[in-house]
């Protein structure tokens, strides 16, 4: 009988193969947050590339958010990159004009602002450094939570993006999510089993919005056998049926990064932050 670690790696390997997440010659930046999910994603990607002998360059990438906990987070990311035996690129969001303490005071949810900042820099920096893809630790529970939220919010077209491989377009770099078929609890068990260090609560704001949704997913999984796998198969099929977004991307008037509006969400956020009193 296969061990948990073997079964887990097998599931992630199958996602990499079925959805063709890696190609010869790829330069993949693995976005590490210091948590269990991205740590596990990085570990399995590295293992896959080494075992299969694929000509693929893997680099760890971390954005220091400038929060009180960020130093400690960066230290854990350094330990993870060392264990993965890959180089690490770090950046400070402060160098791009972001002050999280001020962003937290804006009359908009901090998690959505933080998401704007991370998506922006996770696209800009790896692309400028020659990456072809960015890998994240998004996993089945994340997609199930987003799925319910988008159904409730009527944002059906967003579900089209719920796939393990989001192809790149113009200045938007391709994104891969190898943990599409595994959940948060499995990622934790995997990191604990292989001795990969991670922080439990890397984000001091995490409890504000998202916590309850993950508890709901956990509850449903406890009541309905095979809930995660069946939901993910259904979501992936639905994503294929939905039409691709027709929004045309252009370049932000201020910074030149891809956006669907005149000025991108990141530039608007930094502008709004300037108006917050210190
Ligand atoms: P989150 O939006 O915090 O759930 O994070 C989703 C994914 O984004 C994680 O699994 C990581 O791959 C990546 N990520 C989040 N925060 C950071 C960070 N500070 N630096 C690099 N990657 C990050
Ligand atoms: Zn911009």
Ligand closest to Cα of 253 equals 2
Residue 70 near ligand 1, beta carbon < 6 Å: no
pLDDT of residue 272: 95
Ligand 2 center to 268 CA (angstroms): 7
* Contacts with 51 (C-beta within 8 Å, 6 or more apart), sequence order: none
pLDDT of residue 202: 62
- Ligand 1 atom nearest the C-alpha of 136 is 12
Question: pLDDT by residue (tens digit) across 184-233?
Answer: 999 999 999 999 999 987 676 765 566 788 889 999 999 998 899 899 99
* Residue ranges of domains in the chain: 4-246
Helix, strand counts (H, E) of the chain:
11, 8
**pLDDT < 70 stretches in the chain:** 202, 204, 206-210, 245-246
Residue 132 near ligand 1, beta carbon < 6 Å: no
Tell me if 129 sits within 8 A of 208, measured CB to CB: no
Q: Per DSSP, which regions of the chain are E strands?
A: 27-31, 57-64, 88-92, 133-135, 165-166, 174-176, 250-251, 258-259
pTM as predicted: 0.95
Whole-angstrom distance, CA of residue 26 vs CA of residue 31: 15
How big is the chain by its Cα radius of gyration, in Å? 18
- Ligand 1 atom nearest the C-alpha of 31 is 22
pLDDT of residue 206: 64
pLDDT of residue 278: 72
pLDDT of residue 208: 58
Whole-angstrom distance, CA of residue 117 vs CA of residue 137: 17
Which residue among 21, 38, 123, 149 has the greatest number of ligand 1 atoms within 8 angstroms of its CB, and so is best to mutate?
38
Would you call 59 helix, strand, or coil by DSSP? strand
- Ligand 1 atom nearest the C-alpha of 30 is 12
Closest listed residue to residue 163, CA positions, set 185, 188, 140, 183? 140
Please give the full DSSP string across 230-256, using - where no structure is assigned. HHHHHHHHHHHHSPPP-PPPEE-TTT-
Tell me if 39 sits within 8 A of 67, measured CB to CB: no
Residue 31 near ligand 1, beta carbon < 6 Å: yes
CATH 3.50.50.60 at 4-246, yes or no? no
């Amino acid at each position: 009988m296969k061990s948990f670690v073997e079964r887990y790696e097998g599931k992630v390997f199958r996602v990499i193969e079925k959805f063709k997440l890696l190609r010869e010659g790829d330069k993949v930046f693995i976005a590490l947050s210091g948590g269990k999910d991205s740590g596990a994603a990085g570990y399995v990607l590295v293992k896959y590339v080494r075992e299969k002998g694929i000509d693929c360059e893997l680099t760890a990438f971390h954005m220091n958010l400038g929060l009180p906990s960020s130093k400690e987070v960066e230290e854990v990311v350094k330990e993870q990159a060392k264990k993965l035996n890959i180089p690490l690129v770090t950046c400070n969001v402060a160098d791009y004009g972001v002050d999280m303490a001020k962003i937290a005071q804006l009359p908009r949810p901090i998690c959505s602002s933080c998401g704007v900042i991370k998506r922006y820099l996770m696209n800009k920096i790896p692309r400028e450094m020659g990456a072809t893809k960015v890998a994240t630790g998004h996993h089945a529970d994340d997609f199930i939570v987003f799925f319910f939220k988008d159904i409730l919010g009527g944002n059906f077209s967003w579900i089209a993006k719920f796939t393990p491989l989001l192809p790149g377009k113009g200045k938007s770099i391709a994104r891969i999510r190898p943990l599409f078929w595994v959940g948060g609890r499995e990622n934790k068990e995997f990191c604990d089993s292989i001795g990969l260090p991670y922080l439990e609560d890397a984000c001091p704001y995490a409890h504000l919005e998202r916590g309850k949704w993950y508890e709901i997913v956990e509850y449903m999984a406890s009541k309905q056998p095979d809930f995660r796998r069946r939901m993910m198969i259904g979501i992936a099929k639905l994503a294929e049926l939905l039409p691709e977004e027709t929004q045309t991307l252009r370049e932000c008037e201020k910074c030149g990064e891809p956006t669907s509006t005149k000025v991108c969400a990141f530039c608007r956020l930094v502008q709004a932050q300037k108006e917050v009193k210190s």
